[in-house]
């Protein structure tokens, strides 16, 4: 099964509501590298737009690569050094690039945070953690008390950072993927038992300690694999495209 790239891009832009993040997201989202319109049949998905990921996607004969962390972040970037090599690899490898940063954090169906919430079995899921007028995360109720270790295992976190400053048994949980350390303040303000994110910064350690909230940091990379894998399955089911996830963990 193949389809026009323009049709797939239009669908992704609408489904992920990319336009609503214009002026909010530093990332240049949507199609960022690609020649004239063409047919695509195999789509790769990865967290980061980096050289090793490009090479793996090309090796897998992907036509399009969808990433969470793209190549362009609101500033002019000289086409030299690693940036030159990356663009050269994409163009010579006939691999198009699509980026979805905040749209893939906040989406209610395939967003990183909503997928984690469902994986935990949270009830009464609501939006959480405001950012420039939009809500990126979500919160909910576990129903019965669970330990931080149970939560980390349920999400598949490997060697997470756990700061056990709250109650041993957790019921009220807030989630914001990636580098959202400061959103622990929003979690505390809402009286949550636990805040889940990717990486937790030193500057917020004492906020959590003094606020009596448990923090679970599962890794920036790890917490941002959930949405891509959900989007991958969504496109496979909807359009019958061949899909592949390119794992390139950093351990961070």
- Calpha distance 194→172 (Å, rounded): 6
Residue 90 near residue 31 (C-beta atoms within 8 A): no
Taken in order 154, 189, 165, 172, is the CA torsion positive or negative? negative
- Calpha distance 59→55 (Å, rounded): 6
Pairing type for strands 170-175 and 134-146 reads antiparallel
Annotated binding site for a divalent metal cation: 68-69, 105, 220, 224
- Calpha distance 57→52 (Å, rounded): 9
- Calpha distance 140→151 (Å, rounded): 13
- Calpha distance 94→64 (Å, rounded): 9
Crossing angle of helices 226-239/112-120, nearest 10°? Answer: 100
- Residue in the structure block whose two tokens are 């690693």: 82
Annotated binding site: 68-69, 105, 220, 224
Beta-bridge partners for 161: 217
């Amino acid at each position: 099964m193949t389809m026009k790239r323009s049709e797939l891009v239009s669908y992704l832009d609408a489904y992920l509501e990319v336009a609503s993040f214009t002026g909010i997201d530093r990332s240049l989202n949507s199609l960022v590298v690609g020649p004239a319109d063409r047919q695509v049949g195999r789509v790769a998905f990865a967290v980061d737009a980096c050289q090793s990921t490009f090479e793996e996607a090309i090796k897998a004969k992907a036509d399009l690569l969808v990433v969470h962390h793209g190549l362009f972040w609101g500033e002019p970037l000289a086409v030299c050094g690693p940036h030159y090599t990356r663009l050269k690899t994409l163009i010579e490898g006939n691999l198009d690039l699509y980026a979805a940063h905040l749209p893939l954090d906040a989406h209610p169906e395939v967003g990183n945070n909503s997928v984690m919430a469902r994986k935990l079995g949270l009830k009464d899921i609501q939006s959480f953690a405001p950012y420039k007028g939009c809500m990126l995360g979500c919160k909910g109720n576990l129903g019965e008390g669970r330990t931080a270790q149970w939560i980390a295992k349920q999400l598949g976190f490997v060697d997470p950072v756990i700061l056990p400053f709250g109650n041993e048994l957790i019921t009220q949980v807030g989630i914001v993927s990636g580098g959202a350390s400061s959103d622990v303040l929003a979690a505390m303000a809402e009286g949550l038992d636990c805040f889940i994110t990717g990486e937790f910064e030193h500057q917020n350690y004492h906020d959590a300690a003094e606020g009596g909230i448990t923090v679970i940091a599962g890794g920036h990379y790890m917490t941002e694999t959930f949405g891509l894998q959900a989007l991958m399955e969504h496109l496979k089911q909807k359009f019958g495209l061949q899909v592949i996830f390119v794992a390139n963990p950093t351990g961070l």
